[in-house]
Chain A
């Protein structure tokens, strides 16, 4: 089989696999990718490294499209979805879940178009930016942390006396800071004295992320036990080209920022881009989050394929870097082409799946599904990281519940990676090591 055909087929197989994975609530593509790479490393999986790169690339593309569905209809968001789910779930409550899903998909497709259009100039821009910015990463990450903490404004509907409103406002703000600090403490423990076995160190953060983002949302959905109202499935999306453009533009800024800078996740990127472009329309927000997600997940892998730069951004690229690094321009262009073709096909398939999901979701028993999801989450964490992982997950679930209870930003949970890595970047490791 010619190489091009082989790699394209590998991408498609990966995309099908990733799409199915995305439909399973709470299962993250990185968990499975980690296992696949581990199997390849120990020699159980006999596949050429290059072919595996393309399988995993396809898996990520498929996952980005389809994981939005359980995130929307079953309230099981991963970190990158946690910020877009709120407006999208409000759309679901109004019977516009199908529209929300399709707007996200439009954003994802828009992100792919941006990626393909930027592919010829990416090598030049990224290489130069990388050289310039590398010595400055510590203060850029510190800027993000400071902005995250300072830019949270109290949410209030104005009821009560000044003192009551002041206390409510500061309760929310302090809960945010507390979440960030506690998550950061967990991050420091995981980085310097992780209770997780060294043999599964590549999944070190898995229980924390599941605990912070997935479990609290699932428990909340389980306790509330709400039902999805009947969903409308309009023939056309009530959104203008201008709004799509705005959403894709904002999401592209956030996604590319997240893909390029270490520690900046799709959620943070989308959040910053939303602020930079002063978005107000919920539809623009949902589109932008789709774009941001795809550029973060897939863009980071494309950067990995970029020859001569040596960039490793995002979880998958970090895992792929343990195999061999693709180093030719031909592979880079093949990857870009494979992404474009796969995304175009997946978009068409996604529309049908979203339609069916919107139709059947009101009839789905939400509480048993949430219960099942919780079991899946516990199982994944236990299989990959054992009892220690479950313990970490339990602690992180408690911390991850603070934002839900105090209506503060869930993004504060990202202190788990931001704080320890920032400490490392600033060269303050000695202080921490003395504590252990």
Chain B
């Protein structure tokens, strides 16, 4: 989820803590502001601190002039093999190619779980909003792997703007099948200890003791809201750090950057805050039931429905594209 979504959702959750809204109005209290800050803190810690403390073992640093998809695919395959053979996690930084202040040469990587291969594609030139800017002749390379590989993300991994992603390859044992495979972790420094419920509880208790139970509870629910919202996506988080060591997968209902779920969350958060303000007001301005129907339930149904419909259409198109890909492969020898 986006930063504002986490921030305002944390405020909404904290506004449900008894007495917080009243305290804010009568005492000029700032508990809700503290809760909002703690709602954003997990990402703040990751993106401003943790990412710089992590070391990487390999760098893939292509240049626009000498871009070689074959070489990148081969290098990635070599790193996967190294992780498999040495049984030590291998972390790789995929660097971006900046062409101008607002122009980036995109390349994409796909880890194919079924066919056990890595595909690297040079894509189009995009702007900083990751939107298409100029077309570029596609260059593609595929490298097969003889190692079981697993990547939980559902699509191409685009490397385009700013710093580029980090990947970690590590050997993991499957408890069910008693087999091993190399798992690909996207942004291994993200959503680990900072995105744990345990830390939310610790912060909550600390602030409970120092600033009172309302602040403690508000901060605790603010932090927890962030962590739980992130579970709706693909990446998940390490919920019970330090008891658990790895990130668990998310529910895969949405991508964190999808516009509609983010907007719906912000909308619902604002609706909840206003509802709580109304309930705490000396002269309420609207009926709580009517508000729930018109501002909460109806928008949820409309926006949620539109998102599900859009996702289904996208999936159908992807399926169609996969079929076309297969047909292409089938026709390739005849071409």
Minimum Cβ distance to chain B for residue A418 (Å): 13
Please judge, given known A-B contacts A128-B286, A275-B3, A276-B262, whether A138 and B131 are in contact too, CB under 8 Å.
no
Which of the segments B46-54, B110-118, B228-236 contacts the partner chain? B46-54
For residue B89, CB closer than 8 A to chain A, the reply is no
Could you say which interface size class chain B belongs to?
35 or more
Which of the segments A71-79, A111-119, A280-288, A299-307 contacts the partner chain? A280-288
For residue B79, CB closer than 8 A to chain A, the reply is no
Q: Are the C-beta atoms of A143 and B33 separated by less than 8 Å?
A: yes
Q: Which residues of B contact A425 (CB under 8 A)?
A: 28
Among A146, A147, A153, A154, max chain B CB count under 10 A is at: A147
Interface string of A142-156 (1 = CB under 8 A from B): 110011001101111
Can you report 14 A-B residue pairs in the complex whose CB atoms are below 8 A from each other? A87-B129, A131-B281, A133-B277, A139-B24, A139-B30, A146-B36, A158-B93, A158-B96, A158-B164, A246-B259, A278-B259, A279-B259, A281-B131, A282-B131
Q: Are the C-beta atoms of A282 and B163 separated by less than 8 Å?
A: no
Q: Are the C-beta atoms of B44 and A150 separated by less than 8 Å?
A: yes
Q: Are the C-beta atoms of A282 and B96 separated by less than 8 Å?
A: no
Please judge, given known A-B contacts A143-B11, A150-B44, A151-B40, whether A278 and B2 are in contact too, CB under 8 Å.
yes
Q: Which residues of A contact B21 (CB under 8 A)?
A: 136
Residue on A nearest B274 in the bound complex, by CB: A132
Residue on A nearest B164 in the bound complex, by CB: A158
Q: Which residues of B contact A173 (CB under 8 A)?
A: 48
Among A138, A158, A163, A427, max chain B CB count under 10 A is at: A158
For residue A166, CB closer than 8 A to chain B, the reply is yes
Minimum Cβ distance to chain B for residue A410 (Å): 16
Q: Are the C-beta atoms of A165 and B281 separated by less than 8 Å?
A: no
With an 8 Å Cβ cutoff, the count of chain A residues facing the other chain is: 45
Q: Which residues of B contact A379 (CB under 8 A)?
A: none
The 5 closest A-B pairs by CB, nearest first: A158-B163, A166-B52, A275-B4, A128-B285, A135-B25
Q: Give me the interface of B with A, judged by CB distance under 8 Å.
A: 2-5, 7, 11, 21, 24-26, 28-30, 32-33, 36-37, 40, 44, 47-48, 52-55, 93, 95-96, 98, 101-102, 127, 129-131, 162-164, 257-259, 262-263, 266, 274, 277-278, 281, 283, 285-286
Q: Which residues of A contact B24 (CB under 8 A)?
A: 136, 139
Q: Which residues of B contact A159 (CB under 8 A)?
A: 95
Instruction: Kindly state the separation between the CA atoms of A176 and B29 in the bound complex, as whole angstroms.
Output: 26
Please judge, given known A-B contacts A150-B40, A158-B164, A275-B3, whether A143 and B262 are in contact too, CB under 8 Å.
no
For residue A44, CB closer than 8 A to chain B, the reply is no
Instruction: Kindly state the separation between the CA atoms of A282 and B132 in the bound complex, as whole angstroms.
Output: 11
For residue A272, CB closer than 8 A to chain B, the reply is yes
Query: Knowing that A132-B278, A147-B3, A426-B30 are A-B contacts, what are 10 other residue pairs whose CB atoms are under 8 Å apart, sorted by A's residue number?
Result: A90-B102, A128-B286, A147-B40, A150-B40, A157-B96, A158-B93, A166-B52, A276-B4, A277-B263, A278-B262
Please judge, given known A-B contacts A150-B37, A156-B162, A285-B129, whether A131 and B44 are in contact too, CB under 8 Å.
no
Q: Are the C-beta atoms of A151 and B3 separated by less than 8 Å?
A: yes
Q: Are the C-beta atoms of A162 and B163 separated by less than 8 Å?
A: no
Instruction: Kindly state the separation between the CA atoms of A129 and B285 in the bound complex, as whole angstroms.
Output: 8
Instruction: Kindly state the separation between the CA atoms of A246 and B95 in the bound complex, as whole angstroms.
Output: 32
For residue A169, CB closer than 8 A to chain B, the reply is yes
Please judge, given known A-B contacts A158-B162, A276-B266, A278-B257, whether A151 and B28 are in contact too, CB under 8 Å.
no
Please judge, given known A-B contacts A132-B277, A136-B25, A282-B127, whether A154 and B47 are in contact too, CB under 8 Å.
yes
Q: Are the C-beta atoms of B52 and A278 separated by less than 8 Å?
A: no
Q: Are the C-beta atoms of B52 and A169 separated by less than 8 Å?
A: yes
Instruction: Kindly state the separation between the CA atoms of A169 and B277 in the bound complex, as whole angstroms.
Output: 38
Instruction: Kindly state the separation between the CA atoms of A87 and B131 in the bound complex, as whole angstroms.
Output: 12
The 8 Å CB contact of A143, one of B36, B129, B259, B266, is B36
Minimum Cβ distance to chain B for residue A387 (Å): 38
Q: Which residues of B contact A133 (CB under 8 A)?
A: 277
Q: Which residues of A contact B263 (CB under 8 A)?
A: 276-278
Q: Are the C-beta atoms of A147 and B4 separated by less than 8 Å?
A: yes
Instruction: Kindly state the separation between the CA atoms of A217 and B37 in the bound complex, as whole angstroms.
Output: 32
The 8 Å CB contact of B101, one of A90, A143, A280, is A90
Instruction: Kindly state the separation between the CA atoms of A129 and B30 in the bound complex, as whole angstroms.
Output: 20
Q: Are the C-beta atoms of B98 and A157 separated by less than 8 Å?
A: yes
Minimum Cβ distance to chain A for residue B2 (Å): 5
Residue on A nearest B284 in the bound complex, by CB: A132
**Using a CB-CB cutoff of 8 Å, which residues 178-213 of chain A contact chain B?**
none
Instruction: Kindly state the separation between the CA atoms of A332 and B256 in the bound complex, as whole angstroms.
Output: 43
Residue on A nearest B52 in the bound complex, by CB: A166
Residue on B nearest A427 in the bound complex, by CB: B28
Instruction: Kindly state the separation between the CA atoms of A427 and B47 in the bound complex, as whole angstroms.
Output: 35
Q: Are the C-beta atoms of A151 and B25 separated by less than 8 Å?
A: no
Minimum Cβ distance to chain A for residue B5 (Å): 8
